[in-house]
Amino acid sequence: AQKITQTQPGMFVQEKEAVTLDCTYDTSDQSYGLFWYKQPSSGEMIFLIYQGSYDEQNATEGRYSLNFQKARKSANLVISASQLGDSAMYFCAMRVRGPAILTGGGNKLTFGTGTQLKVEL
Amino acid sequence: DTEVTQTPKHLVMGMTNKKSLKCEQHMGHRAMYWYKQKAKKPPELMFVYSYEKLSINESVPSRFSPECPNSSLLNLHLHALQPEDSALYLCASSQEQPLTDTQYFGPGTRLTVL
């Protein structure tokens, strides 16, 4: 079974500062993908960044970077130069390669419980 | 900007009503998903369609009935719902690629059952 753990229910950060949101995962599979999504109060889940288990470099997308430490099974999201618009719920998620990949059938994501980030002036 | 659209944005219905949620994607994706999300909780997968065929049903009650008329459209038919079914319903789509497959979500429908 796969599990994602986000231990920070809430985080505060000052505008223009950097913030790290923690995510640890547990899987016995060697092939997996890790995702971060942002969910503002409006409800839409916005894809931020992806890291594959075989990727040697940490993923980056603009102000977002993923600090991937495979041996520690962690995939922390780093947001640089925080903005007021970054205030939202952030979910870490994992997808594991499984039998369904061979037969088709979509991909299941396992989500963490989320971290509520608030950016302050 | 999302290319997954959902209608309606808000829906209020009684327990005896029949209603439908609609989802459309314009990215040429071959897999589509329905999720249910309660406040301050992660999304819970309900159904997955792959190449227009139902591939995953996460033991969802029969009062929820999915339909995939074509590769771009996904419906969720609702009948005889309970107040505890009130939630945000999210639709997503993906390309159906191993591992790198990214799910893109729509804005959701906020459902209230009275």
Average pLDDT, consecutive stretches of 10 residues, N- to C-terminus, chain A (121 residues): 93 97 93 95 96 93 97 97 98 76 65 98 93
What does DSSP say about strands A115-120 and A10-14: parallel, antiparallel, or unpaired?
parallel
Map residue A25 onto helix, strand or coil. Answer: strand
Interface check B79 vs A, CB under 8 A: no
H helix or E strand, kind and range, residue B34: strand B31-37
> Residue A45 is nearest to which of B55, B90, B110, comparing CB atoms?
B90
Map residue B85 onto helix, strand or coil. Answer: helix
Report residue B57 as tokens: 């049903």
Map residue A38 onto helix, strand or coil. Answer: strand
Look at residue A104 in the predicted model and tell me its pLDDT.
52
Look at residue A101 in the predicted model and tell me its pLDDT.
47
| Residue ranges in chain B whose pLDDT is less than 70 | 1-2, 98-99
Report residue A79 as tokens: 């947001």
Cβ pair B55:A106 closer than 8 A: yes
Neighbours of B56 (CB within 10 A): 18
Report residue B70 as tokens: 């074509």
Look at residue B81 in the predicted model and tell me its pLDDT.
94
Contacts of A109 in chain B (CB under 8 A): 45, 103
Look at residue B2 in the predicted model and tell me its pLDDT.
57
Q: How far apart are CA B98 and CA A96, in angstroms?
A: 9
Residue of A nearest to B37 (CA): A43
Beta bridge partners of A64: A61, A79
Report residue A86 as tokens: 């970054």
Report residue A28 as tokens: 């016995």
Q: Which of B7, B34, B102 to mutate to test the interface with A (most CBs of A within 10 A)?
A: B102
